[in-house]
C-alpha cells in the first residue's frame, strides 16, 4: 500500500518539476524571503524516506527551529526558519550556506521542492524532490 502511495506522490513530483519551468517569464531570485519563524506543529516530528537508486533510509527530524538528518552513518544538523510554505535550512554542521525549499504536507506525507540550488549538495540529495512519511 505504501508503494502505491509512493508512486502517486512520485508522479505528482515529476509533474511539479515538469511544469515548474513553464512560466515563460524571467524570475527574480533576489527577492526570496528569509524565513525566520518557527516551524508549525504539523511540520515538526520525525520523517523518513528511502533514496531512489541507493535504497538508503534517511531520517529527518524537524523541531521548532532546528533539524537533524541521518543517512546511514552520516549525520548533520542545523537551523530552520519557516514562512508560509517555504523552509530555509541553514547553519549545517556538514556545510556552509542556506537551502530554500517549498514544502507541503498531504496526510502523513511531506514533499520538498527546491526553490534554488542548495549550497549544501548532501542536503539537496536527500531533500529535493523527496517525499517523507511521518514516523
- Look at residues 66, 94, 96 and name the one whose alpha carbon lies nearest to residue 80: 66
The secondary structure of residue 37, as a DSSP letter, is B
Each residue's pLDDT expressed in tens, for the chain with a length of 135 residues: 444 443 343 333 333 333 333 344 444 443 444 667 999 999 999 999 999 999 999 999 999 999 999 999 999 999 999 999 999 999 999 999 999 999 999 999 999 999 999 999 999 999 999 999 999
Task: Give the CATH number of the domain where residue 89 resides.
Answer: 2.40.128
Q: How far is CA 51 from CA 40, 44, 112, 126, in A?
A: 26, 21, 13, 7
pTM: 0.74
Please tell me the total count of domains within the chain. 1
Looking at the domain assignment, is residue 21 inside a domain? no
The domain of 93 spans 36-134
Q: What is the distance between the alpha carbons of residues 129 and 49, in angstroms, rounded to a whole number?
A: 11
Amino acid at each position: 500500500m505504501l508503494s502505491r502511495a509512493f508512486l502517486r506522490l512520485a508522479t505528482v513530483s515529476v509533474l511539479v518539476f515538469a511544469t515548474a519551468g513553464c512560466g515563460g517569464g524571467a524570475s527574480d531570485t533576489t527577492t526570496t524571503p528569509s524565513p525566520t519563524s518557527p516551524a508549525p506543529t504539523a511540520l515538526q516530528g520525525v520523517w523518513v524516506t528511502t533514496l531512489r537508486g541507493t535504497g538508503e533510509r534517511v531520517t529527518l527530524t524537524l523541531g521548532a527551529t532546528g533539524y537533524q538528518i541521518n543517512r546511514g552513518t552520516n549525520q548533520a544538523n542545523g537551523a530552520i526558519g519557516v514562512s508560509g510554505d517555504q523552509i530555509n535550512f541553514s547553519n549545517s554542521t556538514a556545510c556552509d550556506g542556506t537551502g530554500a525549499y517549498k514544502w507541503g504536507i498531504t496526510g502523513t506525507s511531506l514533499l520538498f521542492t527546491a526553490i534554488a540550488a542548495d549550497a549544501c549538495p548532501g542536503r539537496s540529495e536527500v531533500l529535493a524532490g523527496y517525499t517523507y512519511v511521518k514516523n
